[in-house]
Structure 1
């Protein structure tokens, strides 16, 4: 069985491929910021009977429901933190409590971006060999602000912000922009949003795990799928593309 981070190909592919990049937790750290806020939130709650793991499970369930109903992003996340508080305390959150929750999440609200190591240099080199595109999901204005803050937009022939990444998202993207699926690669950290739906749409995929990947983005990646290249780090792309 193939190790999750063992490349399934050893030689570079031909130039002229289309490389589509995920943004959050592929180009820059994002869920790590959410995790830091959650840790501070759990400290702040100081629940008298439930331990941190039990509260986290409740919060995960609330986040999952809100993702379906309201999408993604810091505003939805803050909503989930408030609803979790109300669930645990069996009453509405006070204005002061909501203000304190907002203060815990300043880094998210300000859309700070922390590029992963070697991202800018790697994109610069890959852009001389292939067509690069960006495909990210979430709130349009929020994702655009992060892209602007990253100073990476000039690397991409197209930037696509969508509400969700499903198989039809990839099919439509290929049809709209004349992409040949067999020469197109989706590169990301999320099995659920990046790897598996892209493969079902006939594209290749590069799986670069991030240990901070959001639990709701977890899924199994077929270890025997030769259409998935597994790498340890973003800079490893240079050895294959």
Structure 2
């Protein structure tokens, strides 16, 4: 049976969040807060990021804005010009980093494309996401590519309606429980959860272990055993 397989991009096809985590680690070391530990600061940063996403969306620019705002909240004053330059320098590696494919992605997509309809749906800043898609060398495997502002149940329903996708034979494949798995399931799609150790904490959520509509796999290459 031919299925429609819709793939997440960041942390499903290539590594992404680990790059942000490295910047956060460097920022925490640079900050050297005298009283708060890294866990406490990270919780504050998460709150700042969550608020900024609602206004500015995803991507490196929104992330750097959050680092600046979190710094100013912690030190209770505006950043100096030198401090602002330091923070910008810490995040500079995010601008043109090399795309690192997750193991078995290229060969698995090539195999699946011989039997199924493959599509790509990723959220984020369009120019930034397109750069990664182009650099990955994977775009030719996909019937269509969709860069969206958010992955909510309505996003999945609209994509399904626009392309006349059969929910019973359409699978969202990704690493993020919140926006890849739970949102797709709420929209009536099936889902494949492939965990990534570096999945962003704001994407964590509980997946019902008894949900027969979710296939849990340990690695990307296992997809060829099921599709």
> Between Structure 1 and Structure 2, how many residues are aligned?
227
For 2:43, the equivalent position in structure 1 comes to: 57
Cross-structure match for 2:17: 31
For 1:201, which of 187, 202, 213 is the aligned residue?
187
Q: What TM-score does the superposition give when structure 1 sets the normalisation length?
A: 0.92
Q: Which residue of 2 aligns with 1:222?
A: 208
d(CA) in 2 for partners of 1:222 and 1:182? 19
Structure 1 runs of 4+ off > 6 angstroms? none
Once residues 37 and 186 of structure 2 are traced to their aligned partners in structure 1, the CA distance between those partners, rounded to angstroms, is 40
**CA deviation digits over 1:44-88, x for unaligned, max 9?**
001111111111111111011111121100000000000011111
Which runs of 5 or more residues in structure 2 are unaligned?
none
Alignment of 1:1-241 (within 5 A): 14=1, 16-241=2-227
In 1, the alpha carbon distance for the partners of 2:169 and 2:74 equals 50
Distance in 2, matches of 1:94 and 1:139, equals 28
Q: Could you tell me whether the CA contact under 8 Å between 1:111 and 1:142 is conserved in 2?
A: no
Question: Following the alignment from structure 2 to structure 1, what is the Cα–Cα distance between the partners of residues 187 and 43?
Answer: 32
Q: For 1:87-108, what per-residue CA distance to the aligned partner results, in whole angstroms no more than 9, with x for missing partners?
A: 1111111222121112112221
Q: How far off is 1:111 after superposition?
A: 4.2
Decide which moves more: 160-169 or 93-102. 93-102
The alignment's TM-score, normalised by the length of structure 2, stands at 0.98
Higher relative contact order (CA 8 A, sep 6+): 1
RMSD over aligned Cα atoms: 0.9
In 2: Cα distance, 1:67 partner to 1:22 partner: 19
Whether the aligned pair in 2 keeps the contact of 1:111 and 1:145 (CA below 8 Å) is no
For residues 198 and 111 of structure 1, the distance between their equivalents in structure 2, rounded to whole angstroms, comes to: 30
